[in-house]
Amino acid sequence: MKIKNRIYLNKEIEKNQIIDFNTKHSHYLSSVLRSKVGDNVCVFNEIEEYILELTSVDRRKASGTVLSKIQSIKKNYPLTLFFSPIKRAQTEIIIQKCTEIGITKFQPVIMDRTQFKTFNIERLKLIAIEAVEQSNQISIPQINVPIHFEDFIKKNNEYIIACCISEAASKISEVLSDENLIIKGVLIGPEGDFSDKEIKLIEENKLITPISLGNSVLKSETACIVASSLIKELSNYA
């Protein structure tokens, strides 16, 4: 049985359990999905997913009984997106689309040319949850508070690639074809690319490989989506 409608619950779930949905989920079931008593939906936490049968549908309070388990957790390969915060709408696109692709952690990095240094993390978490519900995943990605570029360089201890405009940049296809490399993250610069100082620090860091995404100059949100997708699809381990 394949059910498209999925709801994330931040709680334990077990067979025969009666679930009382909150106001937001009740409104979604009643007014958006137009669900009826007897309809089935999927409910999941970050461990398991179950089929639930609705026993009461009201826009203020819906409820249902858990019938059976569909799947246990299958965690995505750990992959962090390090990115410069941009305008709110574009940052939300990054969170939504890259969550669908399979990014497991988002780490905003304040760089020399970063223009937007704060954003609503709680709203971004809700967007990530909706993306997980839509993309048939279970794990909710981690969204961290911003850190400064210098701190990122000092603390990074895993191999990552950095998408930038640099003479030292390799083609991403060449890097991903190396089966000996275990890529744990991808770094995307701000609008206008990294500063000369940041490029120098990237090129001097043995754990960061500068790569090119092609001849076109991509917007930050586009580069995030393209790089994340290529790594998840073309890496043998991702």
DSSP state letters, 54-75: EEE--SS--EEEEEEEEEE--P
Q: Is the pLDDT of residue 238 over 70?
A: no
Position 236 scores a pLDDT of 53
pLDDT tens figures, 16-42 = 999 999 999 999 999 999 999 999 999
Position 3 scores a pLDDT of 66
Tokens of 144: 């961290």
pTM for this model (two decimals): 0.85
Tokens of 208: 């960061």
Spell out the domain ranges in the chain: 6-72, 80-234
Rounded distance, CA 14 to CA 34, Å?
Answer: 25
pLDDT tens figures, 154-194 = 999 999 999 987 666 778 877 777 777 788 999 999 888 89
Position 117 scores a pLDDT of 76
Domain 6-72 grouped into CATH 2.30.140.10 = no
- Best CATH choice for the domain 80-234 from the list 3.40.50.300, 3.60.20.10, 3.40.1280.10, 2.60.120.10: 3.40.1280.10
Higher pLDDT, 103 or 234: 103
Position 100 scores a pLDDT of 95
The residue-averaged pLDDT of 183-208 equals: 91
The residue-averaged pLDDT of 202-212 equals: 90
| pLDDT confidence bin for 15, thresholds 50/70/90 | very high
Q: Is the pLDDT of residue 234 over 90?
A: no
Position 181 scores a pLDDT of 77
* 3-state percent breakdown (helix, strand, coil) of the chain, nearest 5: 30, 25, 45
Block residue for tokens 């619950």: 9
Q: What is the mean pLDDT of the chain?
A: 89
Rounded distance, CA 84 to CA 97, Å?
Answer: 16
Dihedrals φ, ψ of 139, to 5°? -75, 130
pLDDT > 90 fraction of the chain, expressed in percent and rounded: 65
